[in-house]
Amino acid sequence: MPQRSDTDRAAVTRLVHETVAAVLPQVPAEQITGDKHLKDLGADSVDRVEIIMALIDALGVREPMAGFSTVPDIDALIDFLVEVKQR
Amino acid sequence: MTGRIGIEALNVHAGFAQLSTAELFEGRGLDRERIGHLMMRARSIALPCEDPITNAVNAAAPIVNRLAPQDKERIELILASSESGVDFSKSITSYVHEFMGLSRKCRVMEVKQACYAATGALQIAAGYLASGVSPGAKALVIATDVSMVDARAGYAEPATGTGASAMLLGDDPRVLALDLGAFGAHAYETMDSARPMPDHDIADVDGSLFAYLDCLSNSFADYCGKVSDVDLRTTFDQLALHTPFAGLVKAAHRKLMREQARATPDAVEADFAARVSPSLVYPSQVGNLCSGSVYLALASLIDNAPYRGTARVGLFSYGSGCASEFFSGLIDEGSRAALAELDIAGRLNARIPLSFAEYTELLAENSRCLVPIENRKIEVERYRRFLDARPDGREPVLAYRGTEGYHRTYEWV
């Protein structure tokens, strides 16, 4: 049986992919890979703000946006969101 | 205690030259698709005969020169806010005090906290005036800066302006009557942007934008903790926010409306058009004025918003480092009349457009503006065509003509 954290990570991963696709509809789904920063996908600063705001909103968490400014790639973004959600 | 305290007069000086956003994007080879999110049309560009002192004086002079001698004599406090200091010890304000010909019975100093500092200065000045220790006193608060960005700044280069906002504070607040005591603050240490050298800015784009947005939520929450029955949708008829670039203000408004009102995207868009967009007309033509930015936004909304009667304005100021404040005040139709006397739009429109090549030629000289050099000479006449293009050409403007033994020298043109 999968651990709860695995389930959470799968759900958060799906949410991140859906959110990125909604804000950046021109990016093919296969290009949204964990090793990329949002900048690598062509997200400008306003896109990045929109993606982080939407993720915080969708997960119903209260987390300062400043905490997201140093995540190096999408994998780290997902890890951080899972951590925040489980607090 | 005095009753009404606030801004009696407000003026903005945003230089004599401008560069269109499209021209800069073309020249730098930037991605034009990003202009949409930036929401900028142009930015002010400095001339080598301008500096933080000329900007401050050229913003304040139209206000001070309209005062009756007995009112001018009542200016007892001058605070210049700047992240473009010209000396580690001597303040910009000391020069401004001299060129404005103000009373020698005056408190004179400079304050710094990035793009927030003017609001801190305004609140300190308002507190002094409201204390009643000197009934009828006035204070001059001037936010003045120069740009130090170049190609290294990437997409921040098209969004950065130059100039100053000047405000006369007193007990006849024709422009904005402050809601005294209605404020919320939020500050903490962060390295989101800084000017570690006199010719170079550094910035962590996400760090700075995210700190701005966190501070907006937190300072608004602090405001709500101090003022009863605040509703973001109904308490404020208009909003004016610090504007690093107009697109960030749109994102900030969206964030606050989601958090506070659970508003739908369509409702957010309509609210933005009605309550925020009038404040962005001037900032999108000037660029970020640092701590003068929110007061450029205030001037923009007074000149461009179709309000009638009395309207409450919510204002947000943010400065990297960081410090922030959400506060409010009242404007009315007299505010519009008071600003019309200074014709800010006319002077913005009179700025001479530069080509990208002319702009890059100016950059090298402009980057030396704050570098401490013992002796330096500026040929003011070289820039005469810019200085003469102003619509109020009969009023002299101050120009920087160089430095002699570290003492900066100026002339009226």
A44, A57, A68 ranked by CB distance to B210: nearest: A68
Rounded to the nearest angstrom, the gap between the alpha carbon of residue B110 and the centroid of all alpha carbons in its chain is 15
Does the ipTM surpass 0.90?
A: yes
- How close B93 gets to chain A, by Cα (Å)? 35
Distances in Å between the alpha carbon of B128 and those of B76, B134, B166, B291?
10, 8, 18, 21
Q: Verify whether the Cβ–Cβ distance B210 to A47 is below 8 Å.
A: no
Which domain range does residue A77 map to?
4-86
> The domain that contains A69 carries what CATH number?
1.10.1200.10
**B148-171: string of b/e by CB count within 10 Å (b at 16+)?**
bbbeebebbbbbbbbbbbbbbbbb
For A53, name the nearest residue in chain B, comparing CA atoms only. B255
What DSSP character marks residue B275? I
Tokens, residue A83: 């951590």
Give the 3-state secondary structure of residue B268. Answer: helix
Look at residue B102 and tell me if it is in a domain.
Answer: yes
CA dihedral B363, B364, B365, B369 (to 10 degrees): 80
Measured distance CA(A60)–CA(B401) in Å, rounded: 58
Q: Verify whether the Cβ–Cβ distance A66 to B34 is below 8 Å.
A: no
Residue the block writes with tokens 């006319």: B346
**Could you give the number of structural domains in chain A?**
1
| Predicted pLDDT of residue B1 | 41
A48, A50, A65 ranked by CB distance to B214: nearest: A65
The tens-digit pLDDT sequence of chain A (87 residues) is: 556 666 789 999 999 999 999 999 999 999 999 999 999 999 999 999 999 999 999 999 999 999 999 999 999 999 999 999 988
B190, B204, B251 ranked by CB distance to A49: nearest: B251
| Predicted pLDDT of residue B3 | 74
Look at residue B1 and tell me if it is in a domain.
Answer: no
Measured distance CA(B71)–CA(B69) in Å, rounded: 5
Q: Verify whether the Cβ–Cβ distance A45 to B37 is below 8 Å.
A: yes
Contacts of A45 in chain B (CB under 8 A): 37, 155, 205-206, 209, 248
Element spanning B145, H or E? strand B138-145
| Predicted pLDDT of residue B277 | 98
Tokens, residue B306: 């179709």
B214, B251, B258 ranked by CB distance to A64: nearest: B214
Chain B from 155 to 214: CB within 8 A of any A CB: 155, 190, 204-207, 209-211, 213-214
Dihedral sign from CA coordinates of B313, B322, B165, B70: positive
The pLDDT tens digits of the residues spanning B50-66 come to 999 999 999 999 999 99
> The domain that contains B386 carries what CATH number?
3.40.47.10
Measured distance CA(A17)–CA(B235) in Å, rounded: 38
Measured distance CA(B195)–CA(B114) in Å, rounded: 9
Tell me the sheet residues that pair with B323: B187, B319
Rounded to the nearest angstrom, the gap between the alpha carbon of residue B390 and the centroid of all alpha carbons in its chain is 20
Contacts of B250 in chain A (CB under 8 A): 46
- The contacts of residue B47 (CB under 8 Å, 6+ apart) are B15, B16, B17, B362, B366, B383, B386, B387
The pLDDT tens digits of the residues spanning B380-412 come to 999 999 999 888 767 899 999 999 999 999 999
Question: Which residue, B91, B92, B63, B65, is CA-closest to B168?
Answer: B63
Look at residue B28 and tell me if it is in a domain.
Answer: yes
| Predicted pLDDT of residue B394 | 74
Question: What residues of chain B score a pLDDT lower than 50?
Answer: 1-2
Give yes or no for a cis peptide into B322 (omega within 30° of 0).
Answer: yes
Q: Verify whether the Cβ–Cβ distance B37 to A47 is below 8 Å.
A: yes
Measured distance CA(B342)–CA(B334) in Å, rounded: 14
| Predicted pLDDT of residue B389 | 86
Look at residue B379 and tell me if it is in a domain.
Answer: yes
User: Could you list the active site residues of B?
Assistant: 83, 115, 242
User: With left for phi above 0 and alpha for psi between -120 and 50, is residue B374 left, alpha or beta?
Assistant: alpha
- How close A6 gets to chain B, by Cα (Å)? 29
Q: Verify whether the Cβ–Cβ distance B206 to A47 is below 8 Å.
A: no
Chains A and B form CB pairs within 8 A to the count of 50
Measured distance CA(B93)–CA(B122) in Å, rounded: 15
**Could you give the number of structural domains in chain B?**
1
Q: Is A1 on the interface with B (CB under 8 A)?
A: no
Contacts of A65 in chain B (CB under 8 A): 210-211, 213-214
Measured distance CA(B87)–CA(B91) in Å, rounded: 7
Which domain range does residue B207 map to?
6-412
End-to-end CA distance of chain B, in Å? 43
Q: Is B37 on the interface with A (CB under 8 A)?
A: yes
B207, B210, B247 ranked by CB distance to A46: nearest: B247
| Predicted pLDDT of residue A4 | 64
Q: Verify whether the Cβ–Cβ distance B210 to A44 is below 8 Å.
A: no
Q: Is A44 on the interface with B (CB under 8 A)?
A: yes
Helix pair B205-226, B246-261: axis angle to 10 deg = 40
